[in-house]
Each structure stands twice: as C-alpha cells, then as structure tokens.
Amino acid sequence: MRVKLAVTGGKGGTGKSTVATNLAALLARERRLVLADLDVEAPNDHILLGVGLENEEPVKIMLPFIDYKKCTRCGVCAEVCDTGAIVLTRDKTPYVVPRLCSGCRACYFACPEKAIIEGQRVIGYTYHTNVRLKTSSFDLVTGVLREGEEHTPPVVLAARRRAMKLANDVLLVDTSAGTASHVAIALEGSKLAVAVTEPTPLGLHDLEMILKILSEQGIEAWVVVNRWGIGSSGRMMDRLAETARNYGAVIKARIPYSRDIVDSYVKGVPIVEMLPDHEVSKVFYSLAKEILETI
Amino acid sequence: MPKIAIASENGGGLDDVVASRFARAPKFTIVELDEKGNIVNVRVIDNPGAQATGGAAIKAIQALINEGVDLVVGPAFGPNAQAVLTEMNIKSMTAAAGTKIRDIVEQAKKELGLG
C-alpha cells in the first residue's frame, strides 16, 4: 500500500458512503484502488455500488470456557474482567456471558489454576468483492458485525487487515459515523481524511469532534459540506469554516442538495457514472483531481 | 426466607418508587419476607452498576446474586440482564417506573407464591 485515504465525518447520515463510493469510482480510473467499508455496524457501500458481498471470511475472537474440575472458585476471573462478562454465583462459580466478552483473554492469563479453556466465537465477517463499473474497477472489502454483537473493533481491524493485504497502491477507507475507538482504528495511518458534514448545527457539532480526533492522530483533514442549500446553509457555512480553521482544516467542496443523488442511490450506481455531467458529479471530479495531485 | 430486590429511584425503602432504569438505579431496596409473605426486614444497598462505565446490568446483578435474592423487580430488563437472571435462577418481574415500592411487595408475593 502506497497511500491510505479516509472518508469520515462525525455525524451520521451526512453522505460519507456517497462520497466514498463516488471518489472510489473516480480514483480507480487513475490508480489501483481498494475501498474498505469499515462502517461494520451498517455497511452499505456495496449497496450504493450495486454489488453483493462475496468471499466471506469469519471474524473470530477468543471466548473463555471454564474447566469446572480445575476451578477453585477464587473469583479472580470475574475481578479482572473489564466488560462484566463473567458473573459469579453465590458460591463463586464463574459463568460467562458470551455477548459481553470482548475476547481480551485477561481471565485466561489471570486464572491461577489454568482453568480457562480458550474457545472461539464468530462476531462478524469480512468480504471481498470485485466492483466493475463502466469506467473503472476496484476491490471492495467490507466488514460486517453480526447482529446483536457489541464489540466492533475486532471486525474493523479484520476488515482493515484484509484490505491492506489487497491494497498495493491506494487504500480508501469509509468509516462509520461518530468518534468511537473503532473510528480511530479505521482512520489510523491515513495521509488524508475527507470529513463529510452538512450545514446543520449537529453537522457542525460532530464535525468539530471528528476534526479533534484527526488532529490528534496527525491526519490532514479536508472538509466536504454535503446537502449544500438546505436550511440556513449560508449562516452555517461561516461557522463550519471557522471550526475547520480552528483545527487547521479547510473546506474543500460543497455538494449541492439534489434529488438525483437519491436516484443514483436507489439504482446502485455512483452519480459520477450515472450522470457524468451533473453539477454534483463535477464537485466529485474536482475533489478527486485534487486528491490525486496531493497523493 | 424469600428476598426481593427492587430497583429504586431515590434513596430506596418502602416509601420510594420503582426506578426508571434497572441497571442504573442508584439503590436497590431489599425486602425479606417470611413464608407467609409478611415483611420481616427492609434494607437498602448501593447499586454498583449505577456509576459503571459499561456492563452496568451485570454489575447490578452480581450484587444481587451476592445478596441471595430470589426475585428482582425493575421497569424492564435488557437481553444481557435477562439472560444472566435466568441462568442464575433468579426470578424477574417488571413494574412501571414510579410505582410505590410498598405496592410492589404485594405483587411480588403473588409472583413468589406467598401469602
């Protein structure tokens, strides 16, 4: 991998995946690209690209089993368990709650009787799909957290690793919303992050949070304001620009609010492919061009 | 003797009310009954889950297991809480947040087949 780029943004529903898939389509015209959908709680790049999830591989984490013949009911395993996944009965017999276990192995190492048996549990899957568009093709790696599971980081890591193994030129990651640890894991090592936001108070608030993370990680941030034109966009723009400035970031593009994006969404074709002359597509062209010049 | 733990909204006790959340309730009112269902003792314990950063329900239940309660009363129980209560053979009963704890005891007796 020569360079890693990221699409993130803080607030949910600002159009991260729309930006990621359109940029992927354009960047792949010039470079060999792997797009990694690391929004493992709700991955949808494959939907926007109109492809399926293929080449499934399970993501497993360690799950402790107790050897009750060896267990002396000392309670150490529950004491060291950070996620509360080990409950003790009144006589201190440990009981494991699989869904709460993060697979950290603390109990395994702490047990003085070596009564913890290492088992495994599937918490998600990774996929690899070859995406063939009219004007470009690239590899899509997708991480999917199993429904009901709450330990996101191992799945993000597994998908990231799989994507990095495939990528020998450009890796573009699409993160989930928010600023959780798994977003930082997805962003790690990026040269540049496109922070997608919208001209709303919440868009502003969450943009500031993600810019803080990016500046702490030493990642250059380019702000893209999506849904330009809604509400009081003009008034919000000054505040977005000020926030960006405070974190050494710049506003690189505004994507006008357009129903045609929704159309492209529904059809599963990036708008740069579906309507190449559209004003929205033009924004993506110039953004992609600037990214290519930078990397 | 049967023991009931009720998630309590404020300082706990028979005059307090059922908390709006089980795992984050500040106190548990522990009511001990005799075999006929008469109240023989009322105590209040802190809920270690109230201030926990994660796994609050499990921390709360661990304290109740240590107390040896037979029935837990709360406004609702999440999937983790319910799974552990079932596994630990502890009965659970839901009661609307804000219900007087004194009134809960009557319902709890029926749940335990007493009185």
| Pair of tokens at residue B68 | 């040896």
Average pLDDT for residues B22-30, to the nearest whole number?
96
Please report residues of B whose CB lies closer than 8 A to that of A153: none
Kindly determine whether residue B84 and residue A87, on different chains, have CB atoms separated by under 8 Å.
yes
CB-based contact (8 Å) between A66 and chain B? no
Q: What is the CATH number of the domain that holds A85?
A: 3.30.70.20
Strands (E), chain A: 3-8, 33-37, 57-66, 86-88, 94-96, 116-132, 137-145, 170-174, 192-197, 220-228, 250-256
Same domain? A89 vs A200: no
Work out how many domains chain B is built from and give that number.
Answer: 1
Average per-residue pLDDT in chain A? 96
Name the pLDDT band for A204 (thresholds 50, 70, 90).
Answer: very high
Domain of B7, in residue numbers? 3-111
Check residue B114 and give its pLDDT: 83
Same domain? A239 vs A100: no
| CA separation for the pair A98, A83 (Å, rounded) | 11
Q: Note the pLDDT tens digit of each residue in B35-93.
A: 888 999 999 999 999 998 878 899 999 999 999 999 999 999 998 899 999 999 999 99
Q: What is the CATH number of the domain that holds B60?
A: 3.30.420.130
Kindly determine whether residue A85 and residue B58, on different chains, have CB atoms separated by under 8 Å.
yes
CB-based contact (8 Å) between B59 and chain A? yes
User: Of B55, B61, B84, which is closest to A83 when you measure between CB atoms?
Assistant: B55
| CA separation for the pair A17, A265 (Å, rounded) | 10
Work out how many domains chain A is built from and give that number.
Answer: 2
Q: What is the CATH number of the domain that holds A34?
A: 3.40.50.300
- The answer to whether B19 and B9 have CB atoms below 8 angstroms apart is yes
Of A185, A136, A139, A142, which is closest to residue A166 (Cα–Cα)? A139
Terminus-to-terminus CA distance in chain B, angstroms?
A: 13
Report the complex ipTM: 0.84
Domain of A94, in residue numbers? 68-114
